[in-house]
Every structure is written in C-alpha cells, then in structure tokens.
Amino acid sequence: MQLSTILSPERTVCNMPGVSKKRFLTSISEHIAESSSSLSADAIYNALLAREQLGSTGIGNGIAIPHCRVQECTQIIGTLVQLDEGIDFDAIDSQQVDLLFVLIVPAEETDEHLRVLSGLARLFHQETFCQALRDASSSDELYQTAIRFSEQSQS
C-alpha cells in the first residue's frame, strides 16, 4: 500500500489540539469535508461515530485508526494527525492516543478497505515509524515522513 495514493499534504495535520475523542471526530470530519466536495462533515462524523460505537479503533501504543464507509465517498481518503497532547480514545491498552490515521472509504469498497487497514496496521506497528511521526514539527514534515516510510516498506 502506497500512502501517497490516499494521503495528501492538505490532509496531514501536525500538532492538532486533542481535547476529547468526540471533539477530535468533529474537527477531523470538518477538515476532511473541506478538502472533498462530495462529502459533508455530518456524514463523515456520523459514520465515524457509529464505527466507534461498535468498538474503539484505538489499536494501542498511542495510535488509533478511525475508519468508516461513507455512501457519498468516491475514493479512499486518508488523513494523518499528530495531536499536541494525547486523548482518551478507549484504546485496547488504555493509553492516551496522539497519532491517528483516519480512513474514509466508499461504501462498496469492502476488500480494499480491509487491505488498506491491514497496511496501515503494519506501518503503525513499526516503532521507528511512529517515533518519526511523533518527532515531526510541521504538517509538511509529518507528511514527508509518512510517505518516505510507506515507500521504504514497499521495497
């Protein structure tokens, strides 16, 4: 999986205020909707919230991969976020979350959805990848770091 196919500099946010899980989901839904003319913030938020109610997407070690299918979505959209401080995300290890990759997928893309989630989980289980993301001091540096690691893991 090449992150560059689903992630853009506009959807990479460094030092985003954390506050709470619900506030994060609201803010990130608005951010994603701003960069996509076919998606509304309400549709994204409602789908992300419904998915979180099924079980937390906090995978441990300060990482969460909130994901959902949205009917109006026409292509897979990724958004990478580094929070300025960790938030409670009901993660499986009860740790605060400070790195998130939000994935919005077209409703009919079941197989691709699972393939991308699997690729993201592999990336985020690399300690050096996560530390490099945490060390980034700008959105551009965060984006470049993610893309570089993604390309390296493909070779």
Does 31 participate in catalysis according to the annotation?
A: no
CA-nearest of 20, 120, 43, 26 to 80 is 120
Beta carbons within 8 Å of 73's beta carbon, 6+ residues apart: 36, 38, 39, 104, 105, 106, 107
Give the C-alpha separation, 97 to 87, whole Å: 5
Beta carbons within 8 Å of 3's beta carbon, 6+ residues apart: 78, 123, 146, 147, 150
Say if residues 66 and 51 touch (Cβ distance below 8 Å).
yes
Task: Please tell me which residue in 31, 67, 113, 125 is annotated as part of the active site.
Answer: 67
Q: Name the residues annotated as catalytic.
A: 67
